[in-house]
Amino acid sequence: MNKDFIVYQSKGKQLLLIFLSIIMTGGSAFLLFHRTVDLRTSPYIFKIVGIVGFLFFGFCLYYFIKQFFIGKKVVVLTADGFYDYSSAIATKDLLIPWKDVVDIALFNIVGQEFISVKLKNREEFLASLSPLIRKSVQANLKLGSNEININLQNAKDVSLEELLERMLLFIDA
């Protein structure tokens, strides 16, 4: 195959995430400014939960709005290999060459399906990752998955089975 295959993020799912982030940010702001009348509950608990929630969900809101207008790619398949942008621990702009791929299969972790990619050179791959992402990948390995797990939960018009089929076509080419 010589034509690239790109999976984009769904705008509808992005809108849903933006809406949920607005609700959670608002709920956190409410807790931040909430005056408790129950003397058994410390008002600082509400403030701490409100601050942490407001910062976290506020960041999520900013991130989802930014991604909505940018049009994020989830996975890019090329003749040379693939790029995974599907999650926070994805390889991003690191090309994974097809020659390094040993196996590709569907994998289920806690009820969520992924395309799991096994690589020839696990240690070399792990060494190329940042320490935080490396720890996350090692945790996934302990769960029985492979080095790369592609999540298509927010993908537009592409199923895991279709992407798996396309990836196998690229490997065979």
The residue extents of the domains of the chain are 10-70, 73-172
Alpha-carbon gap, residue 18 to 58, rounded angstroms: 10
User: Which portions of the chain are predicted below pLDDT 50?
Assistant: none
Rg (the chain; Cα; Å)? 20
Pull the structure tokens for residue 42: 């410390």
Residues 130-139: tens digit of each pLDDT: 999 999 999 9
Which residue(s) pair with 117 in the sheet?
104, 148
Alpha-carbon gap, residue 76 to 67, rounded angstroms: 17
CA distances to 19, 22, 45 from 16, in Å: 5, 10, 29
Question: What's the pLDDT score for residue 167?
Answer: 95
Question: What's the pLDDT score for residue 135?
Answer: 94
Nearest CA-CA partner of 106 in 153, 163, 170:
163
Alpha-carbon gap, residue 93 to 173, rounded angstroms: 22
Give the chain's end-to-end CA distance (angstroms, integer).
6
Query: Is pTM beyond 0.75 here?
Result: no
Residues 12-46: tens digit of each pLDDT: 888 999 999 999 999 999 988 876 656 566 778 88
77 dihedral zone (left: phi>0; alpha: psi -120 to 50; beta):
beta
